[in-house]
């Protein structure tokens, strides 16, 4: 199975973190998270290849050491990019694809290999949600052009409904490493609670991001909030 990694231009990445990170720092974060994901994927044993869909020119140099293939993005938009990748892989005779976003730095090689192993035979769709159960943080599809993609608000249910309507086998899995996606300031705080040898964590520590985050309220013994 091929892994598809959509990468938006670094200058446009993670705008919801603008209150914590400057433009240049958000671009650095996007690069670090892509590096972490590619490092994790390079150790997976069940991948046929890595296909990156992007119009960010800087990705080529980052992808080369990992042997990833680049597909120039034809139209902006996550759903369109993954659909484009699916059609490209189907034309090459690939059996399926697994879409992974770049913003899941805690994802592990074991989790990804297990996801592919549990996906099983075609036609099938396997979904992994974010922690809230609303977003799609991973989707495996076989064949790779089986269905259109519906990323956006409540995409997890939209993808499950679309797959069910096709009458194919649908699985939903839970995966701790894939569940935490870095979108909001509080996600940065939660990520920094981990001690992992990740480029993303190293960058955030170097930037001293924790000191920029608003302190969390704490309940004292009397049940009152301490701010």
Supply the CATH number for residue 60's domain: 3.90.550.10
What Å distances lie between residue 87 and 4, 43, 55, 91, CA to CA?
A: 12, 26, 18, 6
Name the nearest CA neighbour of 115 among 6, 32, 40, 33: 40
- Counting the structural domains of the chain, the total is 1
pLDDT in tens, 101-151: 999 999 999 999 999 999 999 999 999 999 999 999 999 999 999 999 999
Residue 206: which domain range? 2-226
CA dihedral 98, 101, 105, 111 (to 10 degrees): -20
The helix-helix angle for 23-42 and 199-206 (nearest 10°) equals: 160
Q: What is the pLDDT of residues 61-99, one digit of tens each?
A: 999 999 999 999 999 999 999 999 999 999 999 999 999
HSE value, Cβ hemisphere, 13 Å, CA-based, for 88:
19
Q: What is d(CA 174, CA 170) in angstroms, rounded to the nearest whole number?
A: 14
Closest to 126 measured CA to CA, from 107, 105, 147: 147
pTM of the model: 0.92
């Amino acid at each position: 199975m091929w892994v598809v990694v959509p990468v938006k231009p670094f200058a446009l990445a993670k705008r919801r973190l603008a209150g914590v990170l400057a433009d240049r720092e958000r671009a650095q974060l996007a690069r670090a998270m892509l590096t972490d994901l590619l490092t994790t994927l390079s150790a997976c044993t069940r991948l046929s290849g890595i296909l990156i869909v992007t119009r960010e020119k800087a990705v080529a140099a980052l992808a080369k050491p990992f042997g990833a293939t680049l597909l120039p993005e034809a139209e902006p938009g996550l759903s369109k990019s993954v659909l484009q990748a699916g059609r490209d892989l189907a034309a090459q005779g690939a059996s399926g694809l697994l879409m992974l976003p770049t913003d899941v730095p805690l994802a592990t090689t074991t989790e990804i290999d297990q996801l592919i192993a549990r996906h099983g035979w075609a036609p099938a769709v396997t979904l992994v949600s974010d922690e809230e159960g609303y977003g799609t943080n991973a989707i495996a599809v076989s064949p790779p052009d089986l269905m259109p993609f519906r990323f956006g608000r409540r995409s997890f249910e939209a993808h499950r409904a679309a797959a069910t309507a096709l009458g194919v086998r649908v699985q939903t899995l839970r995966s701790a490493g894939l569940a935490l996606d870095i979108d909001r300031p509080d996600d940065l705080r939660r990520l920094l609670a981990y001690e992992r040898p990740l480029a993303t964590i190293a960058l955030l520590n170097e930037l001293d991001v924790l000191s920029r985050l608003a302190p969390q309220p704490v309940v004292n013994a009397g049940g009152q909030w301490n701010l």
